[in-house]
Amino acid sequence: MSNVILQGLKEGVDRHWRYTKNFLKVKPEYLLTVSVADKISNCGFNQTSGFELSVQLEHTTGRIIGDIWEKNLEFKNLMKPDLKWGRHHHSLFKPTVKWPTRRGKVDIYIQNEYCDESYIVELKNFNPSNRGIKEDLQRLKEFLDITPKTSPLKSCFLAFPSTEDKQKSLNRCAQEYGSSNFCISTEIQYEITGEDPEHGIPAYYCNIVIMTRYF
């Protein structure tokens, strides 16, 4: 799974520099997200053809929580007679699903409806801050810690390019954000482009943090 994301990340970096040379101003993170999503759709993911996957960009946290809740059979408050769907629908989630502290959207949400599995992929721009990395890892951890036995969410990924080696800092983050519900690992690939520094980037690192549920 991580190989497909890393390949998409490389293509996103290449696309970014091609656009830059043509004086086109496009946010690098957007290009990375689109490139990784294209790669997943074309090559498939986790031994599943891209034709059998739903690959959604900028998917909202609320919809992901709703998908997790839908698969959770413990609807403790569902039968309360005074429950009102319109104004108090959030109370349905409280007994069994804890919302992540950060709301908003995730970059890529992948669903395999045939085997009832889903995945989250977050992308960051070149050389993200340690704080930004930790914030994303914390939210991904909270997603994976939700109803671990019934959640369809199997893995989360955080990927980004960098001009310096992030191995040590990512290993520290992996130790800090570990959990009994999932394993966490890192992969780093060094990519040589051969570009002149004046026209591109000669080399860079592709970094990915992988968080996979045990069960």
Mean pLDDT confidence for 116-145: 92
- Count of structural domains, the chain: 1
Q: For 154-211, what is each residue's pLDDT tens digit?
A: 999 999 999 999 999 998 888 888 777 889 999 999 999 877 777 678 899 999 999 9
Rg over CA atoms, the chain: 19
Report yes or no: 183 and 126 within 8 Å, Cβ to Cβ.
Answer: no
Is it the case that residue 91 has pLDDT exceeding 90?
no
Q: Report the predicted TM-score, pTM, of the whole model to 2 decimal places.
A: 0.83
Domain enclosing residue 88, as ranges: 2-213
Closest CA to 130 of 177, 179, 166: 166
Is it the case that residue 85 has pLDDT exceeding 50?
no
Per the DSSP assignment, residues forming a β-bridge with 207 are 160, 188
Q: Which residue has the higher pLDDT, 66 or 11?
A: 11
